[in-house]
Chain A
Amino acid sequence: MTKIVKHIFFSQDKLFVDFQKQFSFESNLNFGATFKSLYKALKLDYPKYFKMDSLSKLGFLAAEILLQDSKLRAMHRPEKIGIVIENSSSTILMDTKHQETLNNKEAYFPSPANFVYTLPNILTGEICIRHKIQGENVMFISSKFDAEMIATYVEKLFDDKKITACLAGYIEINEENYEAFLLLIENSFKDPINEKQLIDIYSKYKNRTNAWKN
């Protein structure tokens, strides 16, 4: 049995926590500048953040907000905390950057610092390092947020007693936009989470950000 403890949604310069608007940023900023403002607003001091690609930065910030004031580490063993993330475009921004270093044979300079970020599960790795998460971890690729996949798989991990807590959601960034939807799920005596619950929460956020836009 599980329950959704907290959820966050960050897209189109707005950040919501449990449906409440927490931050909004100037809409004329590029997302790099938006992420930087959020990092500052959170008063973080984590030098590794500046080495990350934008996908990892987005996931990292989403997890920071989700786990602010959380007792996750006190309540759960590291190997019993799972992380199940979906994404659509894999690491397309860093892929493009790495490819550009190969296009000119006279100035061929592939960089290991870029290359490592051409794997989408580096974002889960960064979150695991920051929050000492050592349990089940998986990166699914899907054309859009797939609530059924997350609900079914996460519930199975709880059922099998593989985990007692889980970060789950959808972290996507591409040339046009970014979106982070992240939930903290823990075991409890309540009913298991289901696909419909996730769809309801997600659609409510989507409607809200679209309303803001107009």
Chain B
Amino acid sequence: MHEVFVHSTYLVTSLGFGIRENMDKLYHEQSGSTLIHDQKYSPEAFFGSKIEHLRFATEFENQFPSLSIEYTLFEKLLLFVIQKSIQNISFPLNTKDTLLIISSTKGNIDLLAKSERDKWEKERIFLWKSAEYIQKFFKLENKVAIISNACISGVEAISVGARFIRSGKFKNVIVAGADILSEFVVSGFQSFQSLSLEQCKPFDSGRSGLNLGEAAAVLILSSSENKSFAKVLGSASSNDANHISGPSRSGDGLFLAIQSALMESEITANQLDFISAHGTATDYNDEMESKALSLANLESVPVNSLKGYWGHTLGAAGLVESIVSIEAMKENKLIRTLGYENHGVSKNISVVASTKTHRIDTFLKTASGFGGTNAAIIFQKHNQHD
């Protein structure tokens, strides 16, 4: 069985472009979320996290000065992050050995709006159509795989990519994810009354809902060990089989995924040094997660949520949070759960309340989403001996 190594990563979030900018802002505990008054997204103001669009347009233009095809914002974000990440890779990617996986919940959903509908071909609304354009752009040999599994999409895309490498089917997998802010998604979460009107507060007693965000990110997996700084040990997904729009009350679904990921990794709960949770700051999600972590005997392991920095970035969330946590593992840092002050979940989990140095060799990333779906993945530091 092949081992799975993590290679180049790149991300664009409301905090900035690339790993360094994002890490610097995270260490300085800066949030990219603000109150957004923009009719484009919603008749009412909401608290959310937007990529700096003007800067993105400029940087995109610099990266790709003469394009013959017009791309949507969602596609541009994917093109940009993929291009940035493959620049650092020494092995060729346009071969039969490489697969691109795209993770997104809603892709080009903004094209459904009246103002956009006539500008693009009808099929452009579909994720597979965006994927075809991206495949063509990078001259990739294989058809792109697409995962759209609600809020676990990002974690699951890494998990599926790792399995394809382990099985020997592919040597390299580029895992790319993106979701953008749109009226479609903002209005939907508003109708659920799950958007907070202030900075979100994961695991806090005063939490009042989530902040939506937009982001794009890439993580390259390979069976090649050379220059890798982390590896994927194991992963799993599970389903609550309980309710489509509310998480399980007991946390048993997420617990099953954690247990299965630990088993595959051949480690026990006490070998985890840190947990990057989903922590959306809705009442039910955070409570469910605390129960799942408790069931898995993980109450004493430091756990954070990064949603206070860039909101919930949906299909990109699992990727951006994994990428940043891998970097923090490399630097042996625990990043504070921004927004958390007073413990507000029933189990005594160890929420990281201040950013500090902490030895991290192995960590767990989890995600949960609509449809009762959960995912867990375990990463380990990889020290090169050469």
Contacts and interface: CB of A to CB of B under 8 A. Distances in A.
Interface in B145-199: 145-150, 156, 160, 163-164, 166-167, 169, 183-184, 187-192
B245 A112 contact: yes
Interface in A104-122: 105, 108, 110-112, 115-116, 118-122
B245 A116 contact: yes
Interface stretch (B49-57, B234-242, B304-312): B234-242
Q: Which of A92, A102, A108, A135 has the most CB of B within 10 A?
A: A102
B143 A156 contact: no
Given A105-B43, A115-B191, A122-B370, A139 B148 contact: yes
Given A110-B191, A121-B371, A141 B242 contact: no
Interface stretch (A8-16, A34-42, A124-132): A124-132
B267 interface: no
A160 B1 CA distance: 10
Interface stretch (A64-72, A93-101, A180-188): A93-101
Interface residues of A, number: 53
A115 B188 contact: yes
Contacts of A156: 163-164, 166-167, 169
A140 B146 contact: yes
A153 B163 contact: yes
A136 B260 CA distance: 10
A128 B184 contact: no
Given A95-B112, A99-B184, A102-B187, A122 B164 contact: no
A129 B105 contact: no
Nearest to B243: A129
Given A131-B241, A137-B238, A162-B260, 14 more contacts: A88-B128, A89-B126, A90-B127, A92-B126, A99-B112, A110-B191, A116-B192, A122-B244, A133-B241, A134-B241, A139-B149, A142-B143, A143-B126, A153-B164
Interface of B: 43, 105-107, 109, 112-114, 125-129, 131-132, 143, 145-150, 156, 160, 163-164, 166-167, 169, 183-184, 187-192, 236-245, 253, 256, 260, 264, 369-373
Interface of A: 78-79, 83, 88-90, 92, 95-96, 98-99, 101-103, 105, 108, 110-112, 115-116, 118-122, 124-126, 128-129, 131-143, 146, 149, 152-153, 156-157, 159-160, 162
